[in-house]
Chain A
Amino acid sequence: DAGVTQSPTHLIKTRGQQVTLRCSPKSGHDTVSWYQQALGQGPQFIFQYYEEEERQRGNFPDRFSGHQFPNYSSELNVNALLLGDSALYLCASSPAGNQNSPLHFGNGTRLTVT
């Protein structure tokens, strides 16, 4: 039973470029959330996808966008990268039917913007 998988594991980009991160949820999960963890901080909620739509969004600019596919996998896109976007990006999945289910996390994508 595969858990949450994220790709790539590491990525180096230049300011102004665009990046796409990918996530496959745990089998049986249909909800995907994305979190950003900057150095020294706890994970910050970016957005959550359910039924291929953005269900809720955190306090992130429109440069951050996402998508969920019919197989429940998800992408996080960041445009016009800034140095401050350097962080660990975590994907987490959960089953929509259980409101108090814990999140299952992937290992994250480490993004470095130079």
Chain B
Amino acid sequence: ILNVEQSPQSLHVQEGDSTNFTCSFPSSNFYALHWYRWETAKSPEALFVMTLNGDEKKKGRISATLNTKEGYSYLYIKGSQPEDSATYLCAQRRGGSNYKLTFGKGTLLTVNP
């Protein structure tokens, strides 16, 4: 993997379904992995910043895991609600002296009531 990639590109689920999506990134020189939620007409909002291999973070019904050795992170949403509809972005920071975040293209989640 040379770039940050997210899959699927888009996803439609029914209210109450649980879902997950993937962020893949270069495993070399890993520093941190960020997840953001971006609702239409709003600004991206941070969900998690993960730094350690095996990290698991949780915020309400949303959780994320991190595998830095193989270069992937999963985001899980349990019992999806219509208000979870948004684009979910992941971004990698490589190296402590490298301040830039490299973003994936995002996963667009639509939760139907």
A residues within 8 Å of B by Cβ? Answer: 3-4, 31, 33, 35, 40-45, 48, 55-56, 58, 90, 99-108
Contact = CB atoms under 8 A, between A and B. Distances in A.
Given A90-B44, A105-B43, A106-B43, A100 B51 contact: yes
Nearest to B9: A40
Interface stretch (B12-20, B63-71, B73-81, B97-105): B97-105
Interface in B14-58: 32, 34, 36, 41-46, 49, 51
Given A3-B43, A48-B99, 5 more contacts: A33-B101, A42-B104, A42-B106, A100-B32, A108-B43
Nearest to B45: A105
Nearest to A101: B49
Contacts of B103: 35, 42-44
Nearest to B43: A105
Mostly, the B contact residues are loop
B99 A107 contact: no
Contacts, number: 58
A35 to B, nearest CB: 8
Contact of B99 (A33, A35, A40): A33
Contact of A99 (B34, B96, B104): B96
A44 B32 CA distance: 17
Interface residues of B, number: 24
Contacts of B98: 56
A2 to B, nearest CB: 13
B105 A103 contact: no
A104 B106 contact: no
B89 interface: yes
Contacts of A101: 49
A7 B85 CA distance: 27
